[in-house]
């Protein structure tokens, strides 16, 4: 059997005494690309945050393999965009976890930050203020920041929101190269049509877990309509469309 990177057991999370996640049981294998999928308001982001212990759960537990270093790319909504920070500054913030309180980044961290920017093809923008970039470029910078953390498992919250197709493909290529190195990535994702192309495993949730497993299996089952309450229209990302993609 494969090694497990993250195990979620009996997880219940509530908001104002109303459960938003109910009895979630999940296993995320090591070295895969894992998608958390579900309709709007299904609790995808909440699940991600609960896994990282950023939200307190009412019941159950989350076990992340202790040998793995975690890095997290939040949705960009909490960023103060007008802050006087260049791309380089932002990436450098990725080293703050290992530095801890008070200690300042030194030459080693700075070299590392430049290397991470280079890896994301953003070195030439290093002195730009963060808000002067396009959506895709911003996402690349935040990914470079995650690289700085030198994590073994990445949690990304909707990294493709407001991002151009080229960057999207680039990010996936990078994540796949991580996979080769044995690293794991967990993404909140909402585009059903690209699921099988991008990911190995997925969890389909709508408050509770509907299905989990290899993408192709989950997508072909009846579970998808169940998660979306049969609301997947034949237009846009249609069910038939996805099914044909899988084949």
Binding site for other proteins (CB under 8 A): 9-10, 12, 14, 16-19, 23, 52, 54, 56-60, 72, 74-75, 78-80, 82-86, 89-90, 93, 96-97, 99, 101-105, 129, 145
72 in helix, strand or coil?
strand
Q: How far is the CB of 76 from other proteins (least distance, A)?
A: 8
Nearer Cβ to other proteins, position 19 or 238? 19
52: which 2 tokens?
Answer: 């990282």
CB neighbourhood size of 203 (10 A):
24
Q: How far is the CB of 153 from other proteins (least distance, A)?
A: 13
Where do runs of H (alpha helix) occur along 149-247?
Answer: 165-180, 195-198, 215-220, 223-227, 239-246
Nearer Cβ to other proteins, position 98 or 111? 98
Q: Which residues contact 106 (CB under 8 A, 6 or more apart)?
A: none
Q: How far is the CB of 127 from other proteins (least distance, A)?
A: 8
Nearer Cβ to other proteins, position 79 or 246? 79
Q: How far is the CB of 30 from other proteins (least distance, A)?
A: 21
Nearer Cβ to other proteins, position 39 or 135? 135
Nearer Cβ to other proteins, position 104 or 108? 104
CB neighbourhood size of 23 (10 A):
14
Q: How far is the CB of 162 from other proteins (least distance, A)?
A: 17
Distance from C-alpha of 127 to C-alpha of 45, rounded to nearest angstrom: 31
On the CB side of 220, CA atoms within 13 Å amount to 10
């Amino acid at each position: 059997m494969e090694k497990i990177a993250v195990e979620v057991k009996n997880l219940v999370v509530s908001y104002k005494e109303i459960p938003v996640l109910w009895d979630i049981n999940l296993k995320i294998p090591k070295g895969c690309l894992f998608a958390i999928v579900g309709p709007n308001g299904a609790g995808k982001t909440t699940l991600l945050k609960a896994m990282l212990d950023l939200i307190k759960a009412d019941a159950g537990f989350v076990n992340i393999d202790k040998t793995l270093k975690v890095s997290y790319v939040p949705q960009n909504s909490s960023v103060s965009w007008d802050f006087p920070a260049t791309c380089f500054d932002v990436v450098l913030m990725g080293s703050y976890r290992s530095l801890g309180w008070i200690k300042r980044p030194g030459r080693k961290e700075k070299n590392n930050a430049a290397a991470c920017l280079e890896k994301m093809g953003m070195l030439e923008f290093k002195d730009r203020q963060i808000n002067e970039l396009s959506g895709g470029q911003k996402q690349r910078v935040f990914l470079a920041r995650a690289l700085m953390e030198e994590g073994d498992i990445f949690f990304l919250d909707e990294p493709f929101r407001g991002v151009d197709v080229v960057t999207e493909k680039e990010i996936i290529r990078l994540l796949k190269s991580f996979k080769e190195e044995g690293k794991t990535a967990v993404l909140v994702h909402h585009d059903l049509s690209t699921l099988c192309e991008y990911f190995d495993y997925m969890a389909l949730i709508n408050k509770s877990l509907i299905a989990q497993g290899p993408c192709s299996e989950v997508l072909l089952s009846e579970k998808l309509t169940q998660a979306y309450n049969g609301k997947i229209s034949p237009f846009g990302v249609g069910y038939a469309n996805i099914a044909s993609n899988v084949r």
